[in-house]
Structure 1
Amino acid sequence: MSRPNQLFRRPVSLSGIGRRRVSLVVLALASTTIAAVFACGPFFPEQLLDDRKNTLANLPEFSFSREVTRLMPSTPSPGKRAADAADSSAASVLYARGARAYRDPQSEDRGLSSFDAIGPLPEAGTDSVRVKAAFMSGKAHEALAFVAGHDTDEELEDAARGFAATRQLVAQGWSDPDGLGPASWGEEARLALHAQGRVCGWTEMVRHDPCTEALTSVQIAKALTLYTHQAVAGASSGVDSLSFLLEWVSRHPARLEALAQDSLGRDLLSLYVLAYDDGSAPGHAAMKALARSASDIKTGPGGRNALLALAAYRMGQFDLAAQFAGDDPAPYAAWVRAKLAMRVNDLPGAARAYAQAIKGFPTNTASGDPAMTSRIRSESGILQLSRGEFVQAFIALYDAARSGGASADGASADGASDAAYLAERVLTVEELRAEIDRAIPASPKPPPPREGDLLPAITLGDTMRQILARRMVREGRLDESLAYFPEDDDPRFRSESEGGHAVDRPYRQWVRAYAKALAEAHSGWTRVSRARGWFEAARIARIHGMEIMGTEQGPDYAVYEGAYEGGAGRSLYSSNPQDPLEGSLTRQQRVDRALKGPFITPEERKRYQASEVVPFARYHYRWVAVDYAEKAADLLPPRSQAFAAVLCQAASWQTDRTPILYARYLKEGALVPFGRDFGNRCEIAPDFEAARHYMLRTKWRHLRDRIARYL
């Protein structure tokens, strides 16, 4: 099977999801024998259905950077001012003079007079230096703040005004190619941490400098607020500074207590617990401080306690989590209530809470991390699955995968694999077809690309439609399947030929040819024509089987185009050496091993067993192809070249029937030139016309012998 052209088709590798969780899957496999299978494989997406109890009971890892940026409203991007062709000579001269003075420790004003002189200049010709001049005015005041003869507090206030002026100019649309607007928040935050006549920053904190003891809670809270603004403005350095400062604060109980009294401080500490809870002392200390201050925190709607509820749940303080969640309508609070309901087996209550959480995204919350939205939807789907609501569970998991990013890629997002499992193994073909016809249309076919064009990705909806189409082919519903395959000339589904050229994958053409061959196999007028039909169907199944009838997950793994055995769907691997090997399992044993644990109904197990592909073997379509080839051989004269060629080709299709096919050839077939390399080099085509004449000659000889015998 040819490999896809990455210019036109999404990569098979799932490293594009860039998630921290998927790497854990690969790491966990390292301690097992299956690790050898995955050693060079992609990063597989997380599958929440693998351990449903754990999924519903625990919280996922939160993205500190993503959540922090939603603690404050972001500022809309300003419109860009029309830039001047060139700076005026006066502005350029002033800025250069100020820059030289700033770098000179002996300068009396560190360039301040030059930077401040740029502001009053006419706007024309100052576009490239106006923002930089305001920023450097703040830096100059900062440099003077700790120089003898200068009032430290006054200089720091002037520095803050310079940084604020920087942001104001950026908001007005002045050019800021160096990102000084976001950087100004960090500069101002750093100045807030001053003590004993100097800035007491990261270096001093790391080495436990005495100046850190002089920092007040007010200074720390101000710095955290400013760093949060920087993070919201899109500066990764703001996120790094926040996490560093929060870790440092978490090691000082008194500072923790003080920070926990502030609303933003509680949110930041909660996010620290959620994002960096690895059992370390700082994380536990942060939650303990929040717990001790619980009596001073008013719970209820509008209290912004959802993150507190999540953090308390993460730390196992369930009573406190319930107190913080209260009846707060915020989605995260409802999520906590859903998990608490699951803990006491209140499934109806959990379902109501999940529905409330889903309804609240994204308009009713200060946080809208797509990964968390997806997770909540997925958990709701798992709950529906455990109640036997299979179609509703599929809808929930499909929507979860799309909300988490799978709308742009049919396989790579978390949740996509779970939705595909339901589509292939749990829903009936009619249930899946009805839902696809209702709500999952094919994505528009893009126009033919020009050289170097990037094409739209294959969507999750396209993937679901192909799963349905291949299931229909496996059930013999070939004409019905055509509408769910991609159009033959859709450039997104092209593959790369051996010469490096992109060629179409005409799925519908292949299926029509397959249907025509099977029709001839069943209704051809002669034995040879029926044999020709069976062999043509076998050839199509062998060459294009992955595309038109392969299983999305096990055993074929069309999701990875057959490149990897595992990483999607239910696994049959067992780490117990006493368990039988996967290849020796019975059908019932496969069900028992794949579907273990709670939240799995007998009906799901029944459907899983009923939807199993036959034969259940890696690249199962090869066995289908061999079966068709044997049917063709049954219809051919054993002493014909076609009989030997059909068996020889079938023997080369890499199944366990090769020895049987060779034995049959030795027993029934005639000596042919390619018999010496039987099963290895069998490119020669069966000569069906010669077989037809062979049969006619044989029949005439038999008829002639009978006539001679009775006349």
Structure 2
Amino acid sequence: MSAPSPRVLTLSVLLLTGAAGIAIACGPDFPWQLLDRREVTLAETPANPFAWEAAHLVPAPTDTMKAVENRWATDDTRAKLRTDAETAGLPADAAALIAALRAAGDGDKAYALGEKLPAAVRLYTAAAVDYKAGRLDQAAARFQAILDLPAADGAPRAVWAAYMLGRVAAKREQADTAVAAFAKARALAQGGAPDPLGLGVASLGEEARIRLAQAGLSLVTTAETDDDTVAGSLPATLRLETTGPLDVAALSQAIGLYAQQAAHDSYNGVSSLNIIALHLLEHAEPLKAAITDPLVQRLLAAHVLAFEEDLPRQAKAWDASRHDPGETYKAPPAPHLAALSTALTEARIGDAGGPAPAAADQLAALAYRKGDYDLAGRLAAMRPGPLASWVLAKLALQKGDLMQAAKFYAQASAAFPAAGDGPQGGALSAAERGRLAGEGGTVALARGEYVAALDQLMPMADTYWGDVVHIAERVLTVDELKAYVDAKVPASVVAGWTQTVDNKQWPNTLLDTMGVGYKYDEEADRLRYQGAPLALRSLLARRLMRAGRGKEALAYYHNPAVAKDARAYLDARDDAGNAWWAASRARAWFQAAQLARMKGMEIMGTEGVPDEAALQGAYDAGIGQAMLPPAGAPYVTDGERKRFADSAPQPDQRFHYRFIATDAAEHAADQLPHTSQAYAATLCWAVTYAQDQRIATWTNDPATIEDPYWQSVVRRIIERDKQAQGRVAALYQRYLKTGPHQAWAAHFGRACPAPDFDAAAKEWWRAPARQAHRWIARNHRKALIGGAAVLAVLVAGTALLLVRRRRSPSAKGVS
């Protein structure tokens, strides 16, 4: 069989997070949301990341050995790692002395120079010089001499020496001797001997290479270095070469050793397993020969699940996003799935009378991905467990049986933590456990079990906060949410709960007013929410405020400063409706306007769409749902649609509190005399707040946008901008027609002074007097006649009163 062409490993994050599609992202840097496309979410195949599966092919290690690897290491960083390890615990001048020994070029010379060094260090450094020079006999003798030292004297280099004896034997093709030496290195490391370079874990990979060679395969590097430490021999480019007939037993041993290495958090172990899986999946003959081995089955099933395209998911995603109804879905190639399926079929694995599959639940997931639902059901029944139950839930969804699906989701979730992280093939990674719970919540929502849906998603809020927000803010009624928060997240639970996000470590953190928020997870390449318990209480507070239940809201603000602003807003609104004097009402309305504009996000902003308090308003969408799928879409009930409509903020516009601020400022003007400075100033501020309602967009021509969704978004923005401009124009015209001239009005709406409400209060009395004075000045004759008439009336009235008083009987003596 010909050897495959060299393959460059570009695994990094791919190996660590490599499932074909574990959720749907809603935008740049936004967290995952399951509810964006529910039919896609619920059609996806369950699949752990390959690195997780690779580390769980064997039982979890019970020793304390650690892998010491840096796959991004340079020659300098590798050299520094070795130098730091070599000089640990030695005097300061030891580094220069060891460097001199290594430069000697001859083991004997090096040994002679090292008389000031501890015996084990002196022997090891001299042996390393011999090894590098190719004098393997001399090197082996000195490595062995270290192991022959008294335990205390030899301990600093004992693991190193045993490991290098294994490498010497491997070079000599003395397999049994090499295996024994590597086992010795691990025993010493497990016994507590110093192992700063992680050679105990590295020995697993070295021994696996020997087993690969016995299997007729060779895992080699294209630019292999041959240093005496693992730090110097980290492979960058790997390939498998066929060197003889395939020995399946030896191959299984190699896979087991690499799996042990991966279980110790070794990237090299994971990458080696990836190369073996690729080799088998791309070569029919060795695949056919090895497929009956249980470990091979589990490795290949995990690899295909992690890396092959998810056909049901891709098909449904296409159907959901296509623009041309005449287009048809073209499935991407899935050669590895096809190759594995062929091998399993030919070996009759899983068939009646055929060999029992070693990873029936994983194979059930593969059958589901392939679209063979009958086979998926049969395989899932062979190995009950969380993954099998999850597959059965998917099959129930395919039939439209939400009740049965909910049952299997609950069954899968109930399997934890008993299933643990063991090697039985039925355990799930933490991410997939969260996904399982999230899908269960999605099904509960589809069944109209709204509170239950929130309850199932809340434990996963750090990942699916947007989905929690949608249910809490737009689906549950205010009373349902309040009852849930009071029962599950009471004040007593969060009273001492604090969590600070390190903005120096995470420079792109978006903090909310509670000191918690999203932080970027580099490994997962997404944002994770911090502090969901506090955030849910704050969400409730703001929702109560929007519902006109502000006094109830005050107990749920976590930040005292926000609670203070909310109380001030409520007091202002109360005074605006109840103050006796009009100027006092105007002052209160203006205070409410200022608070709504400057503190509106914290006091009443929506956590999700349209205000996006969760993202500090940086985007107009991303957390929660901007709209529900069109009528007839699966997994959306009529009840959810009605609740979604009923719970929309008023107005249902981005930064809706700016509209409230504009209205409040105009209400302030309504209370004031038109001749006052305060009347002009409050209208000026109303214009400012109306201008703040405008939102820029990247184009004024939606027809140039191909995507219907973004086309509709731009149309809404343009329409809102027109409305805001109309509001600005109307307010300014009101000032021009009814307001007094003000010197500052040349910058109306851009530079507004503080309203003088005290002067406005006096204006109610001064204005009539000024108007009378101006009339008299223009109408002297009329004023004199009028004045005389008024005086005559007063005199006549006074005289009449006196006459009546004289004619009336005295009160004295009257009974």
Q: 1:690 aligns with which of 756, 759, 777?
A: 759
Alignment of 1:391 with 2:451, yes or no, is yes
Q: 2:340 aligns with which of 275, 281, 286?
A: 286
Equivalent residue runs for 1:293-372 within 5 Å: 293-295=347-349, 304-326=359-381, 328-365=383-420, 366=422, 367-372=427-432
Q: 1:632 aligns with which of 652, 659, 668?
A: 668
Identity of aligned residues (%): 36
Contact 2:186–2:203 under 8 Å retained in 1? yes
Determine the C-alpha separation between the residues in 2 that align with 1:618 and 1:552: 12
User: How far did 1:195 drift?
Assistant: 6.2
Deviations 1:175-234 (A, max 9, x none): 22212222111111112222699955365998885x445342223222211111111110
Contact 1:517–1:537 under 8 Å retained in 2? yes
Determine the C-alpha separation between the residues in 2 that align with 1:398 and 1:352: 19
Q: TM-score normalized by structure 1? A: 0.80
Q: 1:43 aligns with which of 17, 26, 29?
A: 29
Structure-2 change in CA distance of 1:219 and 1:243 (3 Å): same
Determine the C-alpha separation between the residues in 1 that align with 2:613 and 2:215: 66
* Matched letter for residue 165 of structure 2: S
Q: Secondary structure at the match of 2:137?
A: coil
Equivalent residue runs for 1:583-662 within 5 Å: 593=630, 597-653=633-689, 654-655=692-693, 656=724, 657-662=727-732
User: How far did 1:456 drift?
Assistant: 7.6
Deviations 1:32-89 (A, max 9, x none): xxxxxx6xxx412222112212222221553111122222222235399xx9955972
- Matched with 1:442 is 494
- Matched with 2:698 is none
- Matched with 2:719 is none
- Matched with 2:120 is 91
User: How far did 1:452 drift?
Assistant: 8.2
Contact 1:442–1:465 under 8 Å retained in 2? no
- Matched with 1:672 is 742
Root mean square deviation of aligned Cα: 3.4
Structure-2 change in CA distance of 1:311 and 1:452 (3 Å): closer
- Matched with 2:60 is 74
Structure-2 change in CA distance of 1:461 and 1:169 (3 Å): same
User: How far did 1:379 drift?
Assistant: 1.4
Contact 2:215–2:245 under 8 Å retained in 1? yes
- Matched with 2:559 is 487
Determine the C-alpha separation between the residues in 1 that align with 2:499 and 2:396: 51
Deviations 1:413-463 (A, max 9, x none): 2x2211110001000111111111111242634499999899887411222
Determine the C-alpha separation between the residues in 2 that align with 1:218 and 1:380: 41
Equivalent residue runs for 1:56-455 within 5 Å: 56-59=42-45, 62-78=48-64, 85-86=89-90, 89-105=118-134, 107-109=135-137, 111-145=139-173, 155-194=174-213, 199=218, 201=220, 211-278=242-309, 279-295=333-349, 304-326=359-381, 328-365=383-420, 366=422, 367-399=427-459, 401-402=460-461, 406=462, 413=463, 415-440=464-489, 441-442=493-494, 444-446=496-498
Contact 2:597–2:661 under 8 Å retained in 1? yes
Structure-2 change in CA distance of 1:198 and 1:229 (3 Å): closer
Report the structure number with the largest CA radius of gyration: 2
User: How far did 1:130 drift?
Assistant: 1.9
User: How far did 1:274 drift?
Assistant: 0.6
Contact 1:539–1:625 under 8 Å retained in 2? yes
Determine the C-alpha separation between the residues in 2 that align with 1:391 and 1:224: 47
- Matched with 1:559 is 614
Contact 2:466–2:624 under 8 Å retained in 1? yes
Structure-2 change in CA distance of 1:446 and 1:295 (3 Å): closer
Contact 2:19–2:305 under 8 Å retained in 1? no
Structure-2 change in CA distance of 1:280 and 1:206 (3 Å): farther
Determine the C-alpha separation between the residues in 1 that align with 2:769 and 2:363: 92
* Matched letter for residue 96 of structure 1: T
Structure 1 stretch displaced more, 316-325 or 609-618: 316-325
Determine the C-alpha separation between the residues in 2 that align with 1:85 and 1:220: 41
Determine the C-alpha separation between the residues in 2 that align with 1:702 and 1:691: 16
* Matched letter for residue 734 of structure 2: R
Alignment of 1:469 with 2:537, yes or no, is no
Determine the C-alpha separation between the residues in 1 that align with 2:336 and 2:357: 28
Contact 2:465–2:623 under 8 Å retained in 1? no
Contact 2:166–2:177 under 8 Å retained in 1? yes
User: How far did 1:601 drift?
Assistant: 0.8
Structure-2 change in CA distance of 1:45 and 1:448 (3 Å): closer
Determine the C-alpha separation between the residues in 2 that align with 1:72 and 1:487: 48
Q: Secondary structure at the match of 2:363?
A: helix
Deviations 1:340-378 (A, max 9, x none): 111122222212111110001232253231111111111
Q: 2:582 aligns with which of 506, 527, 546?
A: 527
Contact 1:23–1:43 under 8 Å retained in 2? no
**Could you list the runs of 5+ residues in structure 1 that have no partner in the other structure?**
1-16, 30-37, 146-154, 407-412, 489-505, 573-590
Determine the C-alpha separation between the residues in 2 that align with 1:625 and 1:44: 29
Contact 1:332–1:357 under 8 Å retained in 2? yes
Determine the C-alpha separation between the residues in 2 that align with 1:550 and 1:45: 20
Contact 2:576–2:588 under 8 Å retained in 1? yes
* Matched letter for residue 282 of structure 2: R
Contact 2:46–2:390 under 8 Å retained in 1? no
- Matched with 1:14 is none
Determine the C-alpha separation between the residues in 2 that align with 1:473 and 1:19: 44
- Matched with 1:13 is none
Structure 1 stretch displaced more, 61-70 or 337-346: 61-70
Deviations 1:492-536 (A, max 9, x none): xxxxxxxxxxxxxx1111111111111111111200101111110
Contact 2:240–2:276 under 8 Å retained in 1? no
Structure-2 change in CA distance of 1:144 and 1:449 (3 Å): closer
Q: Secondary structure at the match of 1:234?
A: coil
Determine the C-alpha separation between the residues in 1 that align with 2:239 and 2:267: 24
Contact 1:115–1:137 under 8 Å retained in 2? yes
Contact 1:185–1:227 under 8 Å retained in 2? yes
Structure-2 change in CA distance of 1:100 and 1:515 (3 Å): same
Structure-2 change in CA distance of 1:452 and 1:553 (3 Å): closer
Determine the C-alpha separation between the residues in 2 that align with 1:113 and 1:592: 74
User: How far did 1:297 drift?
Assistant: 7.2
Q: Secondary structure at the match of 2:42?
A: helix
How many positions carry a matched residue from both structures?
621
Contact 1:79–1:173 under 8 Å retained in 2? no
Alignment of 1:545 with 2:576, yes or no, is no
**Could you list the runs of 5+ residues in structure 2 that have no partner in the other structure?**
1-15, 67-86, 92-116, 224-236, 310-332, 507-514, 518-529, 694-723, 776-782, 792-815
Contact 1:95–1:114 under 8 Å retained in 2? yes
Contact 1:194–1:215 under 8 Å retained in 2? no
Determine the C-alpha separation between the residues in 2 that align with 1:592 and 1:375: 21
Contact 1:112–1:137 under 8 Å retained in 2? yes
User: How far did 1:21 drift?
Assistant: 8.3
Q: Secondary structure at the match of 1:111?
A: helix
User: How far did 1:608 drift?
Assistant: 0.4
User: How far did 1:598 drift?
Assistant: 0.8
Determine the C-alpha separation between the residues in 2 that align with 1:447 and 1:375: 24
